[in-house]
Structure 1
Amino acid sequence: MRRRLIQSTLAVVLVVIAVFGVSLVVVESRTISSSAQERVELEAARLASIVDSRLLGAGTVDADVLRGQVARGRYAVIRIPGQRPIEVGDKPRGGVIRGEATGEEGEQVVVEEPRSAVTREVGRTLVIIALVALLAVVAAVLLAVRQANRLASPLTDLAETAERLGSGDPRPRHKRYGVPELDRVADVLDASAERIARMLTAERRLAADASHQLRTPLTALSMRLEEITLTDDPDTVKEEATIALSQVERLTDVVQRLLTNSRDPRNGSAVTFDLDEVIQQQIAEWRPAYRSAGRAIVCSGKRHLHAVGTPGAVAQVLAALIENSLMHGGGTVALRTRVTGNQAVVEVADEGPGVPADLGARIFERTISGHNSTGIGLAVARDLAEADGGRLELLQAKPAVFGLFLSRTPPPGKTPAGEPTVR
């Protein structure tokens, strides 16, 4: 591209020099020739005037008198009636420029100048024009190189930016070049880089959330299948298989919920559901894990509460809190239900050391954990609660008490699924 820009600029300059230079040479040559002819004619008229003044004054006219009046390099012939022609200077050879004049006494004056003098002057003019043209070409080349670099370098940068985007590096460069068209391309590439970065972040977040959220139901399902393999009692097998099927359904719901939440966290399909059923389901799933750890999980508080939300999402939030208490807490874990205003509250408390003071305000941030865990569980739980119009809070740090707040009535103008519309 640089070579093409330089070549095109140089071609334009050469064409301009050729057109205007030739015209200038022709005009200057004619001007110099006309000026030389005019000088010679003026010289002849001046000599005729001198001869007239000498003749009228009864003076003599000879070569010695006129020699000082003729310019050097010129040849003059004065013809006075009744006298021999008077010659002043050396007669030039070759081409000449001739000027003639006639005086009042009838004398004729002829002045000649070698055409070579005009040729030399034209040559000097041509040299000057050629030097000016050469300077113009040099200036054009320098300007073309500068302009080519100004245009080609940004294009190279933009190509590198596009290549980085294609190789998976979505960092925007925020570099501009002072050329509106190139800056527009840079704006589009930076905007694309930011969109790609958001998409990659969302994909990584989905992968992290999925791996974390699927781990618990898969572990519970594995435990149920192990129970089936260790017993020969058909009733036990049937009971465990039924629980395993319910866990498979929950696993499917987890996957669907993750996919829906990754597209738009506000797409919750809220229904009015029995909060006791979700709590008892979680206690039944987690009791074997707590029993294996030598701990207990219990439920207390107000019974037969109904809340508005997505049962699968609420189950995932409670599972995250219960698993958090199993991993980082201690003693008995208690799920307590109560009512405050128009909200149903599920508290999950344990008897462990609680949340460190330096993590209290950041406990729901991703990657924040005090025990080398992923730090994803509580962040995902908070997002799920907020997607259903609820909220998840740390009510007490030591011992840790988390509270899940759920609305008991649907938002105005919206009837949740499962509720009949009153007409």
Structure 2
Amino acid sequence: MRRRIISLTVLAALVATVLFALPLGIAVMQYYRDDTKADLERAADTVALAVSADLKAGRTPVVPLLDHEDDEVGGEVGIYGPDARLLAGHGPAVGGPVERQAASATVDVVLGEEGDEVALAVPVLSGSRVTGVVRAALPMSELRLRVALTWLGMAGLAVAAIGVSWLLARRFTTRLVRPLEELAAAAGRLGDGDFTARGPRAGIAEIDRVGEALDATAVRIGETLERERAFSAEASHQLRTPLTGLRLQLEAALETPDADPHAAIRAGIASADRLERTIEDLLALGRERRAPQAELDLDAFLEEVRQAGEALLTPRGRALRITRDDPPTARVAAAAVRQVLGVLLDNAATHGRGTVTVVARDAGDALAIDVADEGPDLGETDPFATAPSGHGIGLRLARSLAEAEGGRLRLSRPDPPTFTVLLPAADPPLSLRK
């Protein structure tokens, strides 16, 4: 690309120079011809004025010395008689067509080429009679030299202009190509998985927009992959809860062969339904971090909590108690809240002891759901910290889901361990609206 831009720029400069130089060269040649004619005519007129009296009186004329202004051309001057023979000065002994035409007095000035000279002749008149002819001439080689030197200077300027265009094209292509090469390198790093790769800023609007688009793409891809990794970890943790409940139910059925198998099958089907619901919730939350909100059906929701909790606790020989204390309604995404309560129930079943108590109550401007068990005092332990083993992922996920719904998840009491989910009430009290 660099070579192509430079070649096209130099070619364009060359074509423009040629198109400009050809007519200019012709104009220069014509200018020097006209200038030479003017110089010769001025010299001839000066001499004609000086010798007109001698020619009129029949005396042999003497060519006067010309000053610098009248002799700029640097040529030779000769004086001829009416018969076109040389009387004084320099020139052919017998005049040629230029001198003879001037002697005929049909024109005031005659210009032509004689041999290797440019000759100009003017008649010297006495009344209507021609008394002589003044001839001024300049070698053609001198005229050609003046034209050639000017053309050579023009050629030098043309070469300089093309050289400058080459330098400017090289500088411009360096400025243009270098950020493109850096963009290509950044895109390559992005393709290799380096999502910190950023495009350069070249000060060229179009390239800068490409760099900004590449940066935005890198950020989006990085966030997407990070979200996918987090979703994988969260999904594996969340799926473990219903799978554990299903396994415990099946193991309990195996340990009691005399029990009704239909009850175990129904419990297994219910656990499978909860597992399917969990998968659907996780997929919905994975596609968009904030699921559509609607008014929470608290009765149906607490029934789901009861079924999920009993599936986890009953095989362990533990009880679940759910109470309501005039709870308000909340407008939230049911999928997110189900996952939050699922994490808290799994945490109580796995790490707690005794009866697990779930209380839905009014917290002023929020619906509060407490999940408590009879386990040991947590003390200063941060339950939301993720351990190297992966413990804590669920609580961290639950907290982020609660915050995404505009609520909070916190450890309200370390002893006995009690976690509280606060969800914004759908209809806050009038005192809070003022």
With normalisation by structure 1, the TM-score equals: 0.76
Tell me, in whole angstroms, the C-alpha distance in 1 between the residues paired with 2:55 and 2:403: 126
Where do residues 20-35 of structure 1 align in structure 2 (5 Å cutoff)? 20-35=20-35
Encode CA deviations 1:219-272: one digit per residue, 9 max, x unaligned: 22223333344443252x443333222211111110011112223423256323
Q: CA deviation at 1:100?
A: 1.8
Match of 1:249 in 2: 273
Q: Is the 8 A contact 1:331 1:351 kept in 2?
A: yes
Q: CA deviation at 1:207?
A: 1.7
Shift of the 355–148 alpha-carbon distance from structure 1 to 2, 3 Å rule, reads farther
Shift of the 337–108 alpha-carbon distance from structure 1 to 2, 3 Å rule, reads closer
Please give the secondary structure, in 1, of the residue aligned with 2:198: coil
Q: CA deviation at 1:40?
A: 1.6
Deviates more, 1:33-42 or 1:143-152: 143-152
Structure 2 residue corresponding to 1:324, chosen from 337, 340, 347: 347
Shift of the 57–207 alpha-carbon distance from structure 1 to 2, 3 Å rule, reads same
Amino acid at match of 2:120: G
Encode CA deviations 1:187-234: one digit per residue, 9 max, x unaligned: 433333333334333322322221110012112222333334444325
Q: Is the 8 A contact 1:220 1:247 kept in 2?
A: yes
Match of 1:79 in 2: 80
Amino acid at match of 1:339: R
Structure 1 residue corresponding to 2:361, chosen from 339, 343, 349: 339
Give the superposed CA RMSD.
4.1
Tell me, in whole angstroms, the C-alpha distance in 2 between the residues paired with 1:76 and 1:310: 113
Amino acid at match of 1:151: L
Match of 1:227 in 2: 252
Q: CA deviation at 1:13?
A: 1.5
Encode CA deviations 1:356-384: one digit per residue, 9 max, x unaligned: 37x48xx3xxxx33575353211332355
Amino acid at match of 1:376: I
Say whether 1:100 aligns with 2:126: no
Deviates more, 1:12-21 or 1:168-177: 168-177
Tell me, in whole angstroms, the C-alpha distance in 2 between the residues paired with 1:15 and 1:233: 103
Deviates more, 1:81-90 or 1:131-140: 81-90
Amino acid at match of 2:287: R
Please give the secondary structure, in 2, of the residue aligned with 1:394: strand
Q: Unaligned stretches of 5+ in structure 2?
A: 93-112, 429-434
Q: CA deviation at 1:389?
A: 7.3
Say whether 1:262 aligns with 2:263: no
Tell me, in whole angstroms, the C-alpha distance in 2 between the residues paired with 1:170 and 1:377: 27
Q: Is the 8 A contact 2:292 2:333 kept in 1?
A: no
Please give the secondary structure, in 2, of the residue aligned with 1:273: helix
Q: Is the 8 A contact 1:41 1:98 kept in 2?
A: no
Q: CA deviation at 1:138?
A: 0.7
Q: Is the 8 A contact 2:309 2:320 kept in 1?
A: yes
Match of 1:418 in 2: none
Where do residues 2-401 of structure 1 align in structure 2 (5 Å cutoff)? 2-52=2-52, 61-62=61-62, 74-79=75-80, 85-89=86-90, 94-103=115-124, 106-171=131-196, 173=198, 175-235=200-260, 237-264=261-288, 265-268=290-293, 270-273=296-299, 277-278=303-304, 280-287=306-313, 299=321, 316-325=339-348, 332=354, 334-337=356-359, 339-340=361-362, 343=367, 345-354=369-378, 356=380, 359=382, 363=384, 368-369=385-386, 372-385=389-402, 391-397=408-414, 400-401=417-418
Shift of the 391–89 alpha-carbon distance from structure 1 to 2, 3 Å rule, reads same
Q: CA deviation at 1:54?
A: 6.2
Q: Is the 8 A contact 1:273 1:311 kept in 2?
A: no
Shift of the 334–287 alpha-carbon distance from structure 1 to 2, 3 Å rule, reads closer
Q: CA deviation at 1:313?
A: 5.7
Q: Is the 8 A contact 1:170 1:194 kept in 2?
A: yes
Amino acid at match of 2:372: V
Q: CA deviation at 1:34?
A: 1.5
Tell me, in whole angstroms, the C-alpha distance in 2 between the residues paired with 1:261 and 1:82: 119
Q: Unaligned stretches of 5+ in structure 1?
A: 413-423
Q: CA deviation at 1:160?
A: 4.0
Encode CA deviations 1:336-371: one digit per residue, 9 max, x unaligned: 5263357453232444342637x48xx3xxxx3357
Tell me, in whole angstroms, the C-alpha distance in 1 between the residues paired with 2:140 and 2:193: 78
Tell me, in whole angstroms, the C-alpha distance in 1 between the residues paired with 2:15 and 2:302: 91
Please give the secondary structure, in 1, of the residue aligned with 2:200: coil
Please give the secondary structure, in 2, of the residue aligned with 1:339: strand
Percent identity over the alignment is 29
Q: CA deviation at 1:180?
A: 3.1
Shift of the 276–190 alpha-carbon distance from structure 1 to 2, 3 Å rule, reads closer
With normalisation by structure 2, the TM-score equals: 0.75
Match of 1:420 in 2: none
Please give the secondary structure, in 2, of the residue aligned with 1:203: helix
Q: Is the 8 A contact 1:297 1:333 kept in 2?
A: yes
Q: Is the 8 A contact 1:45 1:102 kept in 2?
A: no
Tell me, in whole angstroms, the C-alpha distance in 2 between the residues paired with 1:389 and 1:74: 104
